[in-house]
Amino acid sequence: MVAQARSILLTGIAGIAALAPSLAFAAAEGGSSLPQLDWTKFATQLFWLTVMLVVFFFILQKNALPKIEDALETRRRKVDDDLDKASAHREEAEAAMAAYEKALADAAEQAKAIHRQVAQEIAEGATERRSALAAKLAEDTKAAEARINAAKAPALANLQDVVIEVVQDVAAKLAGLKVSNADAKAAVAASLKEKA
Amino acid sequence: MASPLQQFEIHTIVPINIGGIDLSFTNSALWMGITITVASVFLAFGARRRALVPGRWQVMTEMSYEFIANMIRDNVGDAGRRYFPYIFTLFMFILFGNLLGLVPGAFTFTSHIIVTLALALTVFLAVTIVGIVKHGLHFFSFFVPSGVPALMMPLMIPIEIISYLSRPVSLSIRLFANMMAGHTMMKVFAGFVVPLGAATFGIGGLAPIAMDVALTGFELLVAFLQAYVFTVLTCLYLNDALNLH
């Protein structure tokens, strides 16, 4: 408002300043007054001003203004419409995004569950197989031990006979003694007993 | 040398006399006609395509429209929308009258006090009637400033009334004086071109020409500014009438 008041004031001053020479000219021309103050021309100016202003008003009112308003209104509606559409699309996209994220989370959850289950199954299977294997091994060991034990007694008995024969042969070769079977057997038994 | 005031003389083109009153078609009427023709063509043709994406011309018409629409919304509010067509007509008429008056050889009808006074009085009367219709007798409370001691009222009320009554005077003289002064000044400087040039082998004539070039730019500004000021003040008066204080 201040700037506006100043501009009005300035143009007013400029106007008065510039009017001074024109008034001086008017005086110098020998009393011919300002054309603006010639009242005989007032009626025609007022008449034609009224006519022209009324005509102009109706041209604008009936023709120009509705066109401009129509264009502005159409544009405003189109822009609003487009904005509405854009926000609808945006909501749609956001919903799709949420659905996608939910599906992703569900899938991850499911995968984790499957993984857990499989891991558990694998772990259970491994334990089972390990214990079965351990049992089989224990059984085999036991069978092998039994077989060894079974083979051990005759082997030991055979060993005694071999030792007796060796004793008899050694005695015969070294000392020329004929050791009887019974004696050799007793001596081996005594020696074995002593060792034990 | 012709008087710088010669450009303001009114010449009869088609003499018309009705009941002893001279209503001749004059150069003033001619230029009013040219003004409304040019302004109508500018507005109606600019808006004729009603394109969604406007071209340059359409943008100019829409800018003119929204310039006044915003002015009314800012200064008067929504109640002022009803008066848009008249205020817009007034603005366009004065603006194009001022601008076309700058065409060399043209006649500037806004440089005549009787024309600007008629425009200002129309605004003044219309605004006063709007105020009285809207507020009835309460409208006259407009002349009673609020927050002033009762003792001061005999002084304040006449001042307010005088200030109100001087509105059309200041409104019309501002426009008339600005237009007349500008055109006179340009003519005065133009009048110096030949005498100065003749005395200095043509070189001296350049100074007043340069001055006139500068003045032309200044006058274009004044032409717009005065149309704007006239319209803004119309809006402010309308606001006073609609909303009182």
Interface of A with B in 75-104 (CB under 8 A): 75, 78
d(CA B124, CA B216): 32
- Please write the tens of the pLDDT for every residue from A20-54: 555 555 444 444 578 888 888 899 999 999 999 99
According to the model, what pLDDT value does residue A22 have?
52
pLDDT at A4: 54
Task: Please provide the average confidence, as pLDDT, over all residues in chain B.
Answer: 90
Contact A17 B222 (CB under 8 A): no
pLDDT(B36) > 60:
yes
Q: What is the pLDDT of residues B154-177, one digit of tens each?
A: 888 899 999 999 999 999 999 999
B87 Cα to chain A: minimum distance (Å): 10
Could you give the number of structural domains in chain B? 1
- Is B46 inside any structural domain? yes
pLDDT of residue A108: 96
**For testing contact with chain B, the best of A7, A54, A55, A60 (most B CBs within 10 A):** A60
Is any Cβ of chain B less than 8 angstroms from the Cβ of A141? no
Distance CA B226, CA B233 (A): 10
Mean pLDDT of B72-101: 94
Contact of B9 with B109, CB cutoff 8 Å: no
Residues of B in contact with A70 (CB under 8 A): 50
CB < 8 Å from B in window 59-78 of A: 59-61, 63-65, 67-72, 74-75, 78
**Residue B187 domain-assigned?**
yes
Number of Cβ within a 10 Å radius of residue B135: 16
Nearest C-alpha neighbor of B126 from the set A67, A53, A1, A56: A53
**Residue with token string 């005989």:** A40
- CB-based burial of residue B57 (10 Å sphere; 0-12 exposed, 13-18 middle, 19+ buried)? middle
Confirm if B225 and B62 have CB atoms less than 8 A apart: no
Q: How many C-beta atoms surround the C-beta of residue B109 within 10 A?
A: 30
Per-residue pLDDT of B9-30, as tens digits, reads 888 898 988 888 889 999 999 9
Domain that holds residue B35: 6-243
Q: Tell me the β-bridge partners of B25.
A: B14
Select the more confidently predicted residue: A15 or B36: B36
Label residue B201 by pLDDT band (50, 70, 90): confident
Give percent of chain B above pLDDT 70. Answer: 99
Chain A (168-187) residues lying within 8 Å, Cβ to Cβ, of chain B: none
pLDDT on residue A180 = 78
Instruction: Give chain A's residues under pLDDT 50.
Output: 1, 26-31
| Mean of pLDDT values over B191-213 | 87
Q: Would the CB atoms of A35 and B119 count as touching at under 8 Å? A: no
Instruction: Single out the residue of B31, B2, B10, B11 nearest to residue B190, CA to CA.
Output: B2
SS3 category, A33: coil
Tell whether B1 is covered by a domain. Answer: no
ipTM of the complex: 0.90
Q: What integer pLDDT is reported at residue B220 of this predicted model?
A: 95
Which two three-digit tokens encode residue A81? 């419409």
Residue B147 has pLDDT above 70, yes or no: yes
With respect to residue B170, please indicate whether it lies within any of the assigned structural domains: yes
